[in-house]
Amino acid sequence: MDARLRAIQADITTLVVDAIVNAANSSLLGGGGVDGAIHRAAGPDLLDECRQLGGCPTGEARITRGYRLAAKHVIHTVGPVWRGGSGGEAPQLRACYQNSLALAVGHDVETIAFPCISTGIYGYPLDAAADIAVTTTRAFLSGNDSGIREVTFCCFSAGDLGVYRDLLEQRAG
């Protein structure tokens, strides 16, 4: 078990971490779910900065300031819409975690929190998505001298938290 990984049940907008990750849509202009919650909590300056970015393709990530959030940064990543699993959704979701973590490292982020990307409106099955979240993050941390001290998987529901806790208790590899 990697002591840098943990799972909690919380509203991600309340977390005191260096960066929170937003499950955004490709326009980066706000949406429902966790995206809407982050924009409401950060205030209108976040949308102004996002407008300058000109969108973000699926699997990539962009970084902004956190404005009224306790988090200094928001890393916006665009998860895949679930279309049954044969449309490249898994590599795209892996890329979301890899690209978000790489951006975090580039901005000296030591503590970062992820929501369950793609598992809400985008319909990705939670068990499969959580497995990708945990295995991709583990691989990234073991392969990089990253400076990341803590990765929080921030679950909105108790059911999601149970799935993540089970995965984190399993031995890596």
Positions touching ligand ADP (CB under 6 A) are 11-13, 23, 33-35, 37, 79, 115-122, 154, 156, 160
Report d(CA 96, CA 117) in Å as an integer.
8
Q: Which is nearer to ligand ADP, 94 or 146 (CB)?
A: 94
Strand 111-114 relative to strand 150-155, pairing: parallel
> Least distance from C-beta 23 to ligand ADP, angstroms?
3
* Nearest distance in Å: CB 171, ligand ADP: 26
Q: 108 or 113: whose CB is closer to ligand ADP? A: 113
- Closest to ligand ADP by CB, 117 or 132: 117
Give the residue carrying structure tokens 């966790």: 34
Amino acid at 24: A
Give the nearest distance from C-beta 123 to ligand ADP in angstroms.
7
Q: Which residue, 3 or 158, has its beta carbon nearer to ligand ADP? A: 158
Nearest distance in Å: CB 143, ligand ADP: 25
Minimum CB–partner distance for residue 70 and ligand ADP (Å): 13
In the bound state with ligand ADP, the residue whose beta carbon lies nearer, of 13 and 136, is 13
